[in-house]
Structure 1
């Protein structure tokens, strides 16, 4: 079996920041080429960057959420593009606003099929949610690191809730150790 930690791919990084002042989203939408603002559908303005590929959600309060990036570096690059576009519109943005990583979603492969029924029984119900009639995966909540993992019968898993890239590796170590302890991982 190959090392599951080597199969980790980051699918989405979500981060938040702010510019410390309210925004007139209608004016920003009118002046910012490529902006999408439809307050009937969504209260924020959506501005997409292409390189790196990400979406910035700008809210009237001046808060900004970046989503869709594939790394924390891409989050920072995408938001620096947004900050520069706002400065070009004569909206003051401090030189280096705080950017807080809220969530890193990653995928990995354990390299073998999993018996989710046996895992649900073996790990106990206190940290497990498994309702195969509702959802084909098993939700395993970890305390350390503080993440939720979705395990699928194929051996694939999704880890969400991490704040650092290392949380995915740590979660896989915990999951593998727990599955080995109950004899469900070779």
Structure 2
């Protein structure tokens, strides 16, 4: 029955978070008045802006720091960040696109089997935790990859890591551990 191990798993990236700097001061009021798809939040000192292609939301601070969320890939995050920088240039700011960095990737993956969470947590006691009263998933942390995995009894997992490569490596790392604790139907 080793055919289960050979199945390929689809890792679906649901959100990529990236940051960049403009290297200039941004007047949030000007962006709010002249920009489109903008929400001005003066009480927290930022502007929220949405771009459709690629679909991202950006938090813009007057210091020139910008955080982009919602991209479906690292490349989409970079393209969206560059489009946003170009848009700010068109509004009259002397923007210089710099310090682009992907800071977080969120992905989901479904195992082809259900999982005994209590067995999984016992087998991996030092790095796994499960508090069913607080959350329906077991949490598994992989320090060297800086990745956190939420494991649900249905076989679904959510992975958070600093980049796509680490997320994929985290799935490869945890798969054999989950396979050991799979539920057999009818038994």
Q: Cα 1:3–1:155, aligned 2, differ >3 Å: closer, same or farther?
A: farther
Instruction: Determine the structure 2 residue equivalent to 1:138.
Output: 138
Which secondary structure does the structure 2 equivalent of 1:160 belong to? strand
- Distance in 1, matches of 2:5 and 2:12, equals 15
Give structure 2 stretches of 5+ with no counterpart.
Answer: none
Deviating 4+ runs (over 2 angstroms): 1-6, 177-180
* CA distances 1:87-136 after superposition (whole Å, capped 9, x unpaired): 11110112x42310000111111111001111111111x31221111110
Aligned length: 180
1:20 is paired with a residue of what secondary structure? coil
Across the aligned residues of Structure 1 and Structure 2, the Cα RMSD in angstroms comes to: 1.8
Q: Tell me the TM-score normalised to structure 1 length.
A: 0.89
Aligned to 1:20: 23
Given the alignment of the two structures, is residue 6 of structure 1 paired with residue 5 of structure 2, yes or no?
A: no
Q: Give ranges in structure 1 of 5+ residues lacking alignment.
A: none
- Give the direction of change, closer, same or farther, for the CA distance of 1:43–1:90 in structure 2 (3 Å limit): same
Tell me the distance in 1 between the aligned counterparts of 2:91 and 2:55: 22
TM-score by length of 2: 0.89
Q: 2:35 matched to which residue of 1?
A: 32
